[in-house]
């Protein structure tokens, strides 16, 4: 089974219908004071409407949560070669 992990989290995600679940990183005012990053599991609708977000202090924990909750969705590797008109970057 393919899953999101600490090696591929920047370019892999899960998709179902018009939803996508992925990991991003950022910081809060508190984490910035401690000079550390936070990892966010985010679910988007139609690529731009955030409908859910949960933050984690470790990338490992974010990967585990994402895989446990969205593994029944289609795994999408954004580096995989695609073909056909509907797969171009303009869409």
Give the pLDDT confidence of 31-74 residue by residue, as tens digits.
Answer: 999 999 999 999 999 999 999 999 999 999 999 999 999 999 99
Residue at 51 is within a domain: yes
Residue at 90 is within a domain: no
Residue at 4 is within a domain: no
What is the domain range of residue 72?
12-77
Tell me the sheet residues that pair with 56: 39
More confident residue, 3 or 80: 3
> What's the alpha-carbon Rg for the chain, to the nearest Å?
14
Residue at 7 is within a domain: no
Tell me the sheet residues that pair with 24: 40
User: pLDDT value at position 81?
Assistant: 78
Residue at 2 is within a domain: no
Percent of the chain whose predicted confidence (pLDDT) is above 70: 88
User: pLDDT value at position 91?
Assistant: 47
Pair 61, 67: CB distance under 8 Å: no
Residue at 88 is within a domain: no
**Domain tally for the chain?**
1
Residue at 66 is within a domain: yes
Q: The tokens of 60 are what?
A: 């490992």
Residue at 17 is within a domain: yes
């Amino acid at each position: 089974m393919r899953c999101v992990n600490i090696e591929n989290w920047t370019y892999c995600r899960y998709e179902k219908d018009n939803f996508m679940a992925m990991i991003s990183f950022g910081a809060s005012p508190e984490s910035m004071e401690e000079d550390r990053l936070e990892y966010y599991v985010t679910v988007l609708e139609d690529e731009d409407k955030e409908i859910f977000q949960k933050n984690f202090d470790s990338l490992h924990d974010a990967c585990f949560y994402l895989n446990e909750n969205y593994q029944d969705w289609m795994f999408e590797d954004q580096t995989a070669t695609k073909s056909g008109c509907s797969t171009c970057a303009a869409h």
